[in-house]
Amino acid sequence: MTLPTLEATPIPGLVVLRLDLREDARGWFKENWQREKMVALGLPDFGPVQNNMSFNAKRGTTRGIHTEPWDKFVSVANGSAFGAWVDMRDGDSYGAVFTVELDPATAVFVPRGVGNSYQTLEDGVTYSYLVNEHWRPATPYPALDLADATVAIPWPIPLDEAEISEKDRTNPSLADAERMQPKKT
């Protein structure tokens, strides 16, 4: 299997991976994440402790913008989604936005402190991600309004037609959202 190719983005450390999708009469096969190859390509040595999946019944379902204190490796297991990220780390790239269409051949490494969100472009899409720290129900994680006017994410489906959780309807604007401390090196 060919090595993925990497693409840098305006958000430092946030990297798009173009995966080798092996197609045959059955469908396709992918090494969605492969530690050795991804480290060889320059990604951090990511030791996942949790694999989460979220299934979205309807096109337009929108989740985010969530900023947890751990790294994520995100992709779709089927279908397609519009992915959007906002740099919430205090520093030069604070507020930088990046969007890309997620299909099965595309994965994104999201460093901690970057806000994560997506909107499905079809019915029945499963989003899958690996994280390198365990989720703790007691800790509230910072979030940003999906409709924030400053970052102005160009959602393909208008948010007023989108399925969105109660929680994600009351997230603060950029001016009020918590800034994340950049990771010490």
Compute CA 63 distance to the chain's CA centroid, rounded to the nearest angstrom: 10
Q: Is 24 in the site for its own copies (CB under 8 A)?
A: yes
- The answer to whether 50 and 74 are in contact (CB under 8 A) is no
Footprint of its own copies on 106-165 (CB under 8 A): 124, 126, 128, 130, 134-135, 137, 163-165
**Pick from 67, 85, 73: nearest CA to 12:** 85
Tell which phi-psi region holds residue 10, choosing left (phi > 0), alpha (psi between -120 and 50) or beta.
Answer: alpha
Please report how close the Cβ of residue 4 comes to its own copies at its closest, in angstroms: 13
Please report how close the Cβ of residue 94 comes to its own copies at its closest, in angstroms: 29
Catalytic residue IDs: 66, 129
Q: Is 80 in the site for its own copies (CB under 8 A)?
A: no
Q: How far apart are the first and last CA of the chain?
A: 33
- The answer to whether 72 and 116 are in contact (CB under 8 A) is yes
Q: Is 135 in the site for ligand DAU (CB under 6 A)?
A: yes
Q: Is 54 in the site for its own copies (CB under 8 A)?
A: yes
Which of its own copies, ligand DAU, none interacts with 66 (beta carbon under 5 to 8 A by kind)? ligand DAU
> What residues line the site for ligand DAU (CB under 6 A)?
1, 22, 29, 31, 52, 54, 63, 66, 68, 116, 135, 141, 165, 167
